């Protein structure tokens, strides 16, 4: 499973930010990741949670959703029914060549020259996704053979080491020392 997650040449396809709590983010030439805080200039930037529903419950909880990564391969999977471009599903970094959903928690993604993002869990898509394109929520949620919910809308992470990230940057995967922890929603 982990070998499959690391197959191919992993790279950044696009980078995106929004300084407001909008569903989609605007593509940029580069973004600046800041250790412990996230994507500079993005609405989710900060050490404590910024996602509005989580702030309402406890504004002091740690921000485990500083960076949203989404695999470009999902766009191809959905292309029969939806037209999606990088940044439109709210991700900061659109990737290719890596099966993000198969990575264990605490995997480190070394991106570009210096940035390091530690994977914290799965993005839990909400109803806003259907406001973007009706039916998309159902398309990014499924069930496995055992009846467990499968979330396909990307992964979340925290910034361990600062750096500038841009389209075309390489991504190097550093798996945690076992036992591997399956990704859960954050």
Residue 182 placed within a domain: no
Whether the CB-CB separation of 27 and 94 falls below 8 Å is answered with: no
Whether the CB-CB separation of 109 and 119 falls below 8 Å is answered with: yes
Whether omega before 127 lies within 30 degrees of 0, making that bond cis, reads no
Residue 179 placed within a domain: no
Left, alpha or beta for 135 (phi > 0: left; psi -120 to 50: alpha)? Answer: left
Q: What is the pLDDT of residue 54?
A: 82
Residue 92 placed within a domain: yes
Place of tokens 């550093």: 174
Residue 186 placed within a domain: no
Beta strand 26-28 pairing with 115-122? unpaired
Residue 181 placed within a domain: no
Residuewise pLDDT in 10s, the chain (186 residues): 455 444 558 999 999 999 999 999 999 999 999 999 999 999 999 999 998 788 888 999 999 999 999 999 999 999 999 999 999 999 999 999 999 999 999 999 999 999 999 999 999 988 889 999 999 999 999 888 999 999 999 999 999 999 999 999 999 999 999 899 999 999
Place of tokens 């029969």: 80
Which residue from 92, 100, 111 is spatially nearest to 169, judged by alpha carbons? 111
Q: What CATH number is associated with residue 158?
A: 2.40.33.20
- What spatial distance separates the first Cα and last Cα of the chain, rounded to whole Å? 22
Name the burial class of residue 132, with classes exposed (0-12), middle (13-18) and buried (19+) by CB atoms within 10 angstroms of its CB: middle
Q: What is the pLDDT of residue 56?
A: 85
Cβ neighbours of residue 62 under 8 Å, at least 6 residues apart? 47, 48, 49
Place of tokens 């050490």: 47
Separation between Cα atoms, residue 144 and residue 160, nearest integer Å: 32
Cβ neighbours of residue 109 under 8 Å, at least 6 residues apart? 69, 116, 117, 118, 119, 157, 171, 172, 173, 174
Domain of residue 45: give its range: 2-174
Whether the CB-CB separation of 91 and 69 falls below 8 Å is answered with: yes
Residue 82 placed within a domain: yes
Residue 114 placed within a domain: yes
Domain count, the chain: 1
Residue 35 placed within a domain: yes
User: Strand, helix or coil at 3?
Assistant: helix
């Amino acid at each position: 499973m982990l070998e499959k997650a690391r197959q191919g040449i992993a790279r950044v396809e696009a980078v995106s930010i929004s300084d407001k709590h909008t569903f989609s983010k605007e593509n940029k030439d580069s973004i600046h990741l800041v250790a412990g805080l996230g994507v500079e200039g993005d609405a989710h930037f900060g050490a404590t949670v910024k996602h509005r529903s989580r702030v309402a419950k406890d504004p002091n909880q740690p921000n485990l959703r500083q960076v949203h990564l989404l695999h470009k391969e999902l766009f191809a999977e959905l292309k029969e029914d939806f037209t999606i471009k990088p940044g439109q599903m709210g991700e900061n970094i659109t990737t290719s060549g890596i099966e993000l959903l198969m990575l264990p928690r605490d995997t480190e993604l070394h991106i570009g020259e210096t940035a390091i993002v530690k994977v914290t869990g799965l993005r839990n898509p909400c109803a806003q996704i259907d406001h973007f394109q009706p039916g998309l929520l159902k398309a990014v949620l499924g069930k496995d053979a055992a009846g467990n919910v499968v979330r396909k809308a990307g992964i979340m992470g925290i910034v361990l080491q600062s750096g500038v990230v841009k389209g075309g940057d390489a991504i190097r995967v550093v798996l945690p020392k076992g036992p591997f922890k399956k990704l859960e929603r954050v």
